[in-house]
Amino acid sequence: MNRVLLTGASGFIGTNLVEDLISKGYEVCNIDIKPPQVSKRNNIWKNVDITDYLSFEKAILDFKPDYVIHLAARTDLDGKTLEDYSANIVGVENLMKIIHKIPNLKKIIITSSKFVTKNGYQIKNQHDFCPHTKYGESKVETEIRVWKDKPQCDWCIIRPTSIWGPWFGVPYRNFFDMVMRKMYFHIGHIKCYKTYGYIGNTVYQIEQLLFHETLDEDNKVFYIGDEPVYEINDWADEIANELGFKIPIMPVWFVKCLAKFGDFLGVFGIHFPMQSFRFENMTNDGINDMNNTYKIAPEVPYTRLEGTRITLNWIKKYEKGK
């Protein structure tokens, strides 16, 4: 039985990966500072801080993994300095040192983020970065450290795009919640195209990368997401249609005024749903090149509509179970 060690598997992507790997017969270990979201998986959880080298090393070496998926990270955008994201820098430094002590390791996947570049930026190669947040900068540092201390086994870096589905949280759960509560609206007739990914397809893509060779040094970075890209209005309409209503359209000038008002309230620490940052995000394209990934994982198992229906059903069950 192959052993798969995941760091940060109490999070959204990790929760789904753990369930799928266990269903396929793999022996799994979850290293995380938070308990699993699925309580029956407490038996595979080790409460370890990845910035604590000695405890991190012991947990990994005791498990003797055949494969490693490194997901653990601070992922919010609230940090003000790189030090606020020490898990993303010190944590990966520790991991790169430790895996050299596992001679039989077959493959490791290290998780970065699409935020190593800003929306709309056309990357030149896998070492080209253009972050616009401290979180993005921390993930640049993650990738740099992997390249500086490359594993002796096969490895690759993944950059999840905007992933959604069961067990998700901020910000994409908020998108579903706003549509479900009839608080979402289209901004005029602006079309906005983005690379998103349903979690069922994400699990498939990560597992395909984990169990297939990625030996080409010029192709070590893989975006995780769906093809074709989503037009956000179309997706929102798809969700609303499943719920039996239509989404209203607001004039662009009115939404811009709301965003400015939100910016003003933000100066006083008051949160308002619409601010300039969100307006820009809702009206600017964010498309990532999925060619590398689809060469290895060409047959994603779910359509967007199937993922939407599964997610809506999960939200209803999850809310009832609270």
Predicted confidence at residue 9, as pLDDT, reads 98
- pLDDT, one tens digit per residue, over 231-249 is 999 999 999 999 999 999 9
* Predicted confidence band of residue 272 (pLDDT cuts 50, 70, 90): confident
Given the DSSP bridges, would you call strands 193-194 and 230-231 parallel, antiparallel or unpaired? antiparallel
All structural domains of the chain with their residue ranges: 3-160
On average, the pLDDT of the chain sits at 95
* Predicted confidence band of residue 322 (pLDDT cuts 50, 70, 90): low
Percentage of the chain surpassing pLDDT 90? 89
Strand partners, 69: 6, 109
Mean pLDDT within 11-19: 98
Crossing angle of helices 12-23 and 199-210, in 10° steps, is: 60
Fold that domain 3-160 belongs to in CATH: Rossmann fold (3.40.50)
Rounded Cα–Cα distance for residues 99 and 61 (Å): 9
- pLDDT, one tens digit per residue, over 195-240 is 999 999 999 999 999 999 999 999 999 999 999 999 999 999 999 9
Predicted confidence at residue 274, as pLDDT, reads 86
Rounded Cα–Cα distance for residues 71 and 115 (Å): 15
* Predicted confidence band of residue 77 (pLDDT cuts 50, 70, 90): confident
* Three-state DSSP string of 29-74: EEEECCCCCCHHHHHHEEECCCCCHHHHHHHHHHHCCCEEEECCCC
* Predicted confidence band of residue 4 (pLDDT cuts 50, 70, 90): very high
* Three-state DSSP string of 201-235: HHHHHHHHHHCCCCCCCCCCEEEECCCCCEEHHHH
Mean pLDDT within 8-21: 98
* Predicted confidence band of residue 114 (pLDDT cuts 50, 70, 90): very high
Mean pLDDT within 307-317: 96
Predicted confidence at residue 319, as pLDDT, reads 76
For the whole prediction, is pTM greater than 0.75?
yes
